[in-house]
Amino acid sequence: MNFPMKIISNFPVAFFAFLLALSAGSHLAHAQSNAIENAAFLTNNIVIAHEGAAVVVKMRMDRMEAMGSQMKLISAMVRGKKRFDGSKIAAASEKIADHGRKSSRLFPKGSGGKPTQASPEVWKDWQGFTRAMNSMVRSATVLAEAGRAGNKKHASTAYFALGKSCLACHRNYRLKKKKRR
C-alpha cells in the first residue's frame, strides 16, 4: 500500500480536525468515549487505529510482524524442522525484501512514541537506519536467489546473514524490550 507523503505531513492538522469534530458534537460524537481504543475512524485522509497509533505506525508494525513470520517459515526449513523447499524460501525472502524496500517510508518524522517500538535513533540517524534497511533487503535478495537455485547450504548461510542484518537494525533502532519477571 502506497502511503502518500501529503497525508503523513498533514497528520497533525488532520488529527486536530478530528478531535475538534468530536468535541463539537459532529456525527462521530457518539463514538467519542471509545474512539481511540476500540475503533478506527476515517477523517481528512487519516485513520486512527491500533490503540491510538496513526495508520502509518500500524502499517509498519504489521509489516515488521509479517517479516518475522516469513523468517520463522524460512528458519524451519533451514534448520531441518520442515522439508527444504527452495521456492518457498525464495517467495518468503522476496516478501521480506519487498517489505524492507517499502518500510522506510513508514517512518515519517513525528511518528515515534507509544505504541511504536521504534527508537528515536531512527530519526536521529536516518542515514544509518536506511543503510540498515538496505542491508536487510540485500540479504533477503541473496537468500531468495539461493532458494531459487535450490541450494540448501547457500540458503542456510544467507538466512543467517539476513538474521544478523535484522538483529543489527533492532539493536540500534528498536527500543529495548522490558525484562519480564
pLDDT of residue 48: 42
pLDDT of residue 53: 54
Mean pLDDT of the chain: 77
Whether pLDDT at 166 is above 70: yes
Q: Which fold has domain 56-173?
A: Four Helix Bundle (Hemerythrin (Met), subunit A) (1.20.120)
Give which of 85, 99, 93, 88 is closest to 159, Cα–Cα: 93
d(CA 106, CA 58): 9
In this predicted model, what pLDDT tens digit does every residue of 31-45 receive, in sequence order?
A: 333 333 333 333 333
- Positions of CATH 1.20.120.10 in the chain: 56-173
d(CA 130, CA 135): 8
End-to-end CA, the chain: 39
In this predicted model, what pLDDT tens digit does every residue of 22-80 receive, in sequence order?
A: 444 433 333 333 333 333 333 333 444 444 457 888 899 999 999 999 999 999 999 99
d(CA 150, CA 90): 9
pLDDT of residue 176: 86
Helix (H) or strand (E) holding 46: strand 46-49
